[in-house]
Amino acid sequence: MILHKGKYLHLICEDNWEYVKRVNCSGIVVIVPMNKEHKVIFVEQFRRPVEAQVIEWPAGLVNDKTLPDPETMEEAARRELLEETGYEAGHLSLLVEGPISSGLSSESITFYQALDVVKIGPGGGDATESIKVHEIPLKEADLWLYEMEKKGFLVDPKVYVGLYFLKM
């Protein structure tokens, strides 16, 4: 049973569970980018639900815009990487897919690794976003994230999942 219908989310009650279902897309991609100099590309943006600046990987919704043809997960990953960071991937590969918060949401996310990324545009997101891009040497990423937390930023735990794959 749908308890509430929002523009982007529905609140569902089913078998004594209440959870959220996104209704404006077909998936979510998370991109883990690194350039040839082994610098990782993080994004920073204000997130209203937690009332804080959050350090994240570039990410976004799949098929959330009206397009003549549905986009694939990989196409969405490439689009989001360019839109949010201004970088283009030389090589993009699937890492892992799974639930984002299995007790709260029906959403799954798909991680892509983007290697040999090259800056070709301004980044910063679309008209509804205000994204700051950070290029950090991989070997300094853990310390940089710790320092950002000390300054009051929140770090999305998915960042550590991406770093795990980059350090393999």
* Phi (first) and psi of residue 28, to 5 degrees: -135, 135
Q: How many CB atoms within 10 Å of residue 96? A: 14
pLDDT in tens, 136-147: 999 999 999 999
Q: How far apart are CA 61 and CA 56, in angstroms?
A: 15
Instruction: Provide the 8-state DSSP code for 153.
Output: -
Share of residues in the chain with pLDDT > 70 (%): 100
Place of tokens 């490439």: 78
pLDDT in tens, 36-54: 999 999 999 999 999 999 9
Q: Are 132 and 43 in contact (CB under 8 A)?
A: yes
How much is the pTM? 0.93
Of 8-17, 57-66, 100-109, 134-143, the least confident: 57-66
β-pairing, 27-34 with 118-119? unpaired
pLDDT at 97 over 90: yes
Place of tokens 């283009």: 88
Give the rounded distance of the alpha carbon of 129 from its chain centre: 13
The pLDDT of residue 129 is: 86
Class of 26-167 in CATH: alpha beta
Domain boundaries, the chain: 26-167
